[in-house]
Structure 1
Amino acid sequence: MSKENRPDEVASSLLAANGLQLQSSETIQSLWAGYGKISRLFATSKDSPGFVKSYILKLVTPPPTKVDDEGHIRKILSYQVEQYFYSHLAPQMPASLPVAQYLGGINDHRSDGTSRTAMLLSDLREKYPVAGEKRHVLTQTQTFTALDWLSGFHGFWWPKVKDIDPTSLVLPPLQEVQRAGRDAANKAVWLNGGYTYLATRRKEYESLVKDYENEWNDPLTEWVDGEDVSISEIAAAFLSPKTSGWTPIEGYQTLIHGDVKSENLFTSTSGEEVAFYDFQYTGIGLGVCDLAKFFTCSVPLSMLIQDQHIPRELSMQDGEKQLLQRYWTRLKEVGEHDYDWSIFVRHWETALVDWLRFQASWGFWGNTEWLEARVRSILKDQEWKDSLIRNVDKANINKSAI
């Protein structure tokens, strides 16, 4: 590893710019595919040399960009999106939506396709000591707190998202690298928040199309009667933001986190305060797309249904409805926008179908029995299906969303 890519060298430089001196560091984790490291730094200031404070360094030093490797490009772009979020968007947010403070960074992109991205952040664990664990179910208190944070986040950005320059939005990975080349610096957030939307998961979807033994092959990939596209493609088109032109979700779009799960948050000991992190997939979308993953992967099943026995088909139960109404009520209050409950529910149901499409093609985890039962019920709702088809231009589904 070159000297300039050593975590302690980068840390010392970024800390010095803040009047701080590195005392020690420890590696917290390695990034995906060995693309870098996250370290906890212990530093002192010149004014208080005896007071040690902790910080977080995220250092990304990936191999050169490969123009045809979608997974690689997605990750490279995601780190730039995250840096943009922390440096440009997070400072605009109120104290009621705590995130890590950005203290400086590096964003180097070289002509040979290599890059170096670094972020120096405040350490959330000083105030929020309880870390959510991988594929871990939250407590009831943590669930309510996280849901309130999400409704506040989505509500805050709802009226403001229209002010983001559409030309700065990051396209699906393979489209973005064609547009920008290997040097894809100076980008904002994703045009389509999240990492599971169909435009960036065509390979997985094609595998589902060919997997005739998979229960979801027929309901999700077969052409809809009278159309030459599947319900998955129609749902994806419905949920996809655009840089120009009309979209059925216009007026309801906001900024979404993009990867809501227990391991991407910290809470206070009581669980009554929460801070989210990992904003690599932040972008435009419907808030319910964040909820679809959150409900499936982190919410206790007992908060969604009363009976632990899940029937094959399941309509919305009281627990699910109460959580959604809590979110929906605060979303409207913070965003100062109206959102008819019936429209909100249609959006929610479509987000569940889209999320299931990803899980069915990638792998199931979380409250999957609940998710599958809900989607079986939704797909049998002709009114939902007719409304979805009516609001999507099927002729342009396989064309670029831009």
Structure 2
Amino acid sequence: MLLSELAISTLKAAFGNGIQITNVTLIQALWSDFGQLLRVELVKAPVKSVIIKRISVPNDKHHPKGWHSVHASQRKVRSYQVESHWYQKMSKSCQARVAKCFLVSSKYDETVIVLEDLALCEFTPKTQVFSLQQVKQCLDWLAKFHAQYLNIQSNRLWHIGSYWHLATRSGELAAMADQQLQFYAKDIDNKLNRCQYQTLVHGDAKLANFLFNKQKKQAAAVDFQYIGGGVGIKDVMLLLSSMPQKLMAHEQALLNFYFMQLSQYLDHFHPNVKTQDVCHQWRELYPYAWADFVRFLKGWSPEHAKLNTHSLSLTEQVLHNLKSGHDTSSPTSN
């Protein structure tokens, strides 16, 4: 597979003109044909291989679920701008394991992000069958990430992180058949966004976006297109939603593990923060995180497998509380 001129020039700018490219392997095409994720093997360079995320806006846009619109395309372009900024300006300070960014270059409608190949550090993608240990490694990663960035904001990231955020999904909201959830969508959104304790959320923290080091028993996260502000429990919800259904029997134990890790990391990064208050408020918002995600799925893909008994039951619980005025979730900030 041939590299673009921008990709080659970016590699040379990062590692010197004397490098040689010996092999290029396609890892996967990006969503909606917006580019490729590539592994590039090198000689006469300080590293044996790198990962290149090449983003190029296609002339003919194709969405797997049929959501073709100018708004959808603009959202996708914005997501790669956010990811570029994260890797270029913010990832170096991240204490949770992420790939090092060597260089980012843009020209016209093309962007190239040159990243550390985590496989060289023995981080590998998920196996076909996830273990409870791997889920806990991801939860530990999220707890450290959320604790480090508590009350941190950046106007170059999404104001509200996550790919299903209500303000960016007006088309899906309008397409919903569930009028009750549609009616309360803004109330649910407000509950999450007005929580006193905000942090940075990964925004797409499914299991497939983590790599695992078996020896270190550690996870590393990739794919930061939807990183932005929010409550950490949104990431936790999405992670648990991506588990095999049989592991949902451990849901409460996994939540307890996350909050135990979060407490420890908060004590480390923010010793003056009321740790128990953060954990209490976020735990109370767990059903709201599910209801918010269900709202998106019901408009985007009404037959989605994640619209199951568990997710729908939690959503009904939230709707009942809102309708009856018995909402007992945490206090919010103005």
Stretches of structure 2 lacking an aligned partner (at least 5 in a row): 62-68
Write the distance in 2 (CA, Å) between the matches of 1:24 and 1:356: 43
Of residues 26, 51, 55, the one that matches 1:56 is: 51
Residue of structure 2 in register with 1:158 after alignment: 150
Output one character per residue of 1:330-359: Cα deviation in whole Å (capped at 9) or x when no partner.
223323332435422322121111111112
3-state secondary structure, aligned to 2:327: helix
Change (3 A) 1:41 1:385: farther
Any idea what SS the aligned residue of 1:118 has?
A: strand
- Once the two structures are superposed, residues 214-233 of structure 1 have per-residue CA deviations (whole angstroms, 9 ceiling, x without a partner) of xxx14313xxxxxxxx2222
**2:135 corresponds to:** 143
Q: 2:42 corresponds to which residue?
A: 43
Q: Which residue identity is paired with 1:235?
A: I
Q: 2: CA distance between counterparts of 1:12 and 1:268?
A: 30
| Residue pair 2:104, 2:113 contacting (<8 A) in 1 also | yes
Give the structure 2 partner of residue 304 of structure 1. 248
Aligned twin of 2:204: 259
The residue identity in structure 1 corresponding to 2:52 is L
Partner of 1:74: 75
CA distance in 1, matches of 2:25, 2:94: 30
**What one-letter code is carried by the residue in structure 1 that aligns with 2:157?**
V
Deviation, structure 1 residue 130: 2.9
CA deviation after TM superposition for structure 1 residue 366, in Å: 4.0
Per-residue CA shift, 1:143-196, capped at 9, x if unaligned?
01000000011111114x14x3xxxx2xxxxxxxxxxxxxxxxxx210010110
Tell me which structure has the larger Cα radius of gyration: 1
Equivalent residues of 1:145, 1:274 under 8 A apart: yes
Match of 1:85 in 2: 86
Which residue in 1 is equivalent to 2:64? Answer: none
Which of 7, 20, 29 is the matching residue for 1:11? 7
Q: Which residue of 2 aligns with 1:380?
A: 320
What is the aligned counterpart of 2:224 among 279, 288, 303? 279
- SS of the equivalent of 1:380 reads helix
Matched, 1:353 2:302: no
AA partner of residue 320 (structure 1): E
Please say if residues 285 and 329 of structure 2, whose CA atoms lie closer than 8 Å, have aligned partners that are also in contact: no
1:270 CA displacement: 5.5
Quote the residue 1:25 is aligned against. Answer: 24
**TM-score, normalised relative to structure 2:** 0.84
TM-score (norm 1): 0.71
Structure-2 residue corresponding to 1:196: 164
Identical columns (%) = 27
- 1:231 equivalenced with 2:232 (yes/no): no
In structure 1, C-alpha distance between the alignment counterparts of 2:246 and 2:202, rounded to whole Å: 25
Count of aligned residue pairs for this structure pair: 313
Residue identity matched to 2:25: E
Give me the whole-angstrom Cα distance separating, in 2, the residues matched to 1:220 and 1:99. 36
Change (3 A) 1:261 1:390: closer
Partner of 1:291: 236
